[in-house]
Structure 1
Amino acid sequence: MNLITTTLMMLTIATASQAVAAPAGLRLTSIDMPHHDKEASATIWYPNGGGGDMTIFAENPVFQGVDAAMNAEVRDGVYPVVLFSHGMGGTARAQAWLAAGLAERGAIVVSVNHAYSTWGDFNMTKGVRHWTRALDMSEALDALLDDPDFGGRIDPSRVMAAGFSYGGWTALSLGGLRGNHTGIVGACTNFIETMEACDLLLSDAVNMQGLEAVDWNASYADARITHVAAIDPGFVWGLTAENAATLIPNVLLIGFGGAEDRMQATDFDQSGMASLLSDAQILRFDPSFHFTAMPLCKPEGEAILIEENDDPVCTDPAGTDRSSVHDDIIDAMAEQLGL
């Protein structure tokens, strides 16, 4: 091998390494949501085409942030899309680790702050109307397709609806799973002492049982969705084979925890939902718990939450490697999308 050939090979390797190491591009935007008569803030993560301002996104005293190239160019190419829906009381920032990881692998990821079920904009009485979240994500896809920087770079054969917790239900709903109002109300009534949030959902203030069954049970599928990834999804109780009959086949279910750590409200095994989705790929992590899907915590994060009497989102079960779990989730979703 001569000197010129060797030099060119080393330059090629260096360029490829830099491309892999480059943080994902990130744009902050807002999307009109006519069904809410307001706009929703959103993040768009994408393959970095160069430029942009390097920043650490979503960092705070408790959580580690994520490297991002703010307003970088979009790398030339055609990419799959992931529409990501956060959990009840969460934000588009909470799973930035996932959005950035998928964008670095070659996806465009849109996350929306859902009206009335986002931290800082929380109203369970309105937020429990689960269909409005599916409409949010469909509007987000419309906006992405209309965007001059992204619309021409979308592969319509790879459009994934994804979400965590309540957002996991949103993703399944977009993929064609239909709600069962009688079933979820009955499950909450039966397990009101043990199932998380059921006391609030059945309270006079929220009155989930008083919602119109026709609205709860209707289809909110978006025909453009080709894949679903639901991470510890909510509202998984009380479903029947009829509710699952119209769900698309490309479904990835991700569950957290073993017998002692599993959140009952999101236990798709105990609820029977997993048995209805015989074609789904199922990935279970044990040890872990529901909040293992939250960002990596700083060393002082756990103590801060204890002092503030907040949820123990940094206290994983013994033996949990949160970083490794995150990597495995990114790998599984990327594999579903052919990345």
Structure 2
Amino acid sequence: MFKLNIKFVFVLAAMLVTPAARCEAPKRPHPVGLNFASYEDPVRRDWTGSRARPLSTVVWYPAAPGSRETDWTVSIFNAGTNAQGAPMAAEPAKLPLVLLSHGTGGAASTLGWLAEALAANGYIVAGVNHHGNTGAEPSYRLEGFMAWWDRPQDISAVLDKLLADPRFGPRIDTSRIGMAGFSLGGYTTLATIGVRLSQKQWQDFCAEASPDNPNCKLPPEIASKYSMDDVNRLLTQDERMKKELERMGNSFRDPRIRSAYAIAPVLGPAYVKDSVAGIQVPLRIVVGTADDQAIPETTAKPVAALVPKAQLQLLPGVTHYAFLSTCTMVGRTVARQICSDPEGVDRSAVHRQVGADAVQFFERTLR
């Protein structure tokens, strides 16, 4: 199943709070089309070293009028309603693009509700399944759970591929490109607009944390397969991983991204403060007040306090997994942790609210 991040605790700072109840459900002027792309990044290798790094990508878009939509179920999730393979709407000739990053161990389809809200309102939305760290692949890789900074590189590589793809490239307005992501995908979002990581900050925090601190433990989907000793060996003895660590503090900012929408972002204690303060594009952060994984005081509030163009929206009572797609009946039976919400929290209502908010944000910032 999916757990979605390795997290840390950060100092509390001032915040900007925007009321959560102003958003209405997003309108649906277009049917939503869905397509798939099997891209690769020839510059990087997969974790076996045998091939180019895969960039399996899901693309949502406004479909031609009359396209027949059907329900889409992926594993234990209700991933939305769309018309797979439908032609793209002919007008307008150029469309804005929003790139999408899922949480740890997840997949692009788990954010189908957000992609669908945007696509129905005239956006092309492209979500990559991050290699080694996605349930869309047959198995996980420990490296994929540790090399977080590979993710923003995936985003830039996918953007290159989309622009070169004859199906999508000619329709993308390159002056209107945005970024959105959830949990570790929230970090990915921030990295694409300039946030850098510090290995020392990460190590110092975990050295002081309690052994039982969930912020420095492996997520459960790989905890039965790997131990923290495995992590330490990987980081200190594996030659490829040691080379990866040398790039951990690099900037992966992509200047083509003009605005960013981060949902429950994580890894705040590893962020280089100056890199956060240097963000220049419009940024909106959304997180639940009851999120015990992307704790607002850990990342969202400190980032919002440092970024001049940031807005922070707190959703009362909402927990981490409410931002995943709704679950099937099987999912609600076998994966209660990620499929159940607290009393009084309606996951579908959260999706409608945040989807409408994202549409409004990108309409303002990607004009």
Q: Same fold (TM over 0.5)?
A: yes
**Deviation at residue 135 of structure 1 after TM alignment:** 1.3
Tell me, yes or no, if the aligned pair for 2:280 and 2:308 is still in contact at 8 Å: no
Q: CA-to-partner distance for each residue in 1:132-180, whole Å, 9 max, x for gaps?
A: 2111111111111112232222222321121111111111101111112
User: Which of these residues, 106, 126, 130, is aligned with residue 114 of structure 1?
Assistant: 130
1:281 aligned residue: 311
**Deviation at residue 102 of structure 1 after TM alignment:** 0.8
Tell me, yes or no, if the aligned pair for 1:50 and 1:73 is still in contact at 8 Å: no
**Deviation at residue 101 of structure 1 after TM alignment:** 1.3
2:172 aligned residue: 154
Is 1:235 aligned with 2:260? no
Q: CA-to-partner distance for each residue in 1:256-280, whole Å, 9 max, x for gaps?
A: 233xx43256644587333222431
Q: What amino acid does structure 2 have at the position aligned with 1:224? A: R
Taking the aligned partners of 2:63 and 2:333, their CA distance within structure 1 comes to 36
Aligned length: 313
**RMSD (CA atoms):** 2.6
Higher mean Cα deviation, 142-151 or 288-297? Answer: 142-151
Q: Larger C-alpha radius of gyration, 1 or 2?
A: 1
Instruction: Name the SS of the counterpart of 1:145 in structure 2.
Output: helix
User: Which of these residues, 329, 342, 352, is aligned with residue 327 of structure 1?
Assistant: 352
Taking the aligned partners of 1:280 and 1:38, their CA distance within structure 2 comes to 33
Q: CA-to-partner distance for each residue in 1:67-122, whole Å, 9 max, x for gaps?
A: 11111111122221111011110011111111111100111100111111111341
Tell me, yes or no, if the aligned pair for 1:237 and 1:272 is still in contact at 8 Å: no
Is 1:26 aligned with 2:26? no
1:15 aligned residue: none
Instruction: Name the SS of the counterpart of 1:39 in structure 2.
Output: strand
Is 1:135 aligned with 2:132? no
Distance 1:115 1:192, change over 3 A: farther
Taking the aligned partners of 1:216 and 1:178, their CA distance within structure 2 comes to 8
Taking the aligned partners of 1:84 and 1:235, their CA distance within structure 2 comes to 18
Q: What amino acid does structure 2 have at the position aligned with 1:95? A: L
Distance 1:172 1:67, change over 3 A: same
2:188 aligned residue: 170
1:180 aligned residue: 198
Taking the aligned partners of 2:30 and 2:274, their CA distance within structure 1 comes to 46
Q: What amino acid does structure 1 have at the position aligned with 2:53? A: K
Distance 1:193 1:270, change over 3 A: farther
Is 1:223 aligned with 2:255? yes
Q: CA-to-partner distance for each residue in 1:229-270, whole Å, 9 max, x for gaps?
A: 111112111434312133233111111233xx4325664458
Q: What amino acid does structure 2 have at the position aligned with 1:218? A: N
Per the normalisation by structure 1, the TM-score is 0.83
Tell me, yes or no, if the aligned pair for 1:51 and 1:69 is still in contact at 8 Å: no
Distance 1:124 1:278, change over 3 A: farther
**Deviation at residue 288 of structure 1 after TM alignment:** 1.1
Is 1:249 aligned with 2:274? no
Taking the aligned partners of 1:72 and 1:231, their CA distance within structure 2 comes to 29
Per the normalisation by structure 2, the TM-score is 0.77
Distance 1:114 1:223, change over 3 A: same
Distance 1:174 1:205, change over 3 A: same
Is 1:262 aligned with 2:292? yes
Tell me, yes or no, if the aligned pair for 2:180 and 2:189 is still in contact at 8 Å: yes
Q: What amino acid does structure 1 have at the position aligned with 2:338? A: V
Specify every segment of 5 or more residues in structure 2 that has no aligned partner in the other structure, as ranges. 1-26, 46-51, 220-226, 237-241
Distance 1:101 1:264, change over 3 A: closer
Is 1:68 aligned with 2:98? no
Instruction: Name the SS of the counterpart of 1:216 in structure 2.
Output: coil
Taking the aligned partners of 1:266 and 1:174, their CA distance within structure 2 comes to 21
1:83 aligned residue: 99
User: Which of these residues, 38, 44, 58, is aligned with residue 59 of structure 2?
Assistant: 44
Identity %: 30
Tell me, yes or no, if the aligned pair for 1:240 and 1:276 is still in contact at 8 Å: no
Tell me, yes or no, if the aligned pair for 1:58 and 1:94 is still in contact at 8 Å: no
Higher mean Cα deviation, 238-247 or 145-154? Answer: 238-247
Instruction: Name the SS of the counterpart of 2:34 in structure 1.
Output: strand
Greater RCO (CA < 8 Å, at least 6 residues apart): 2
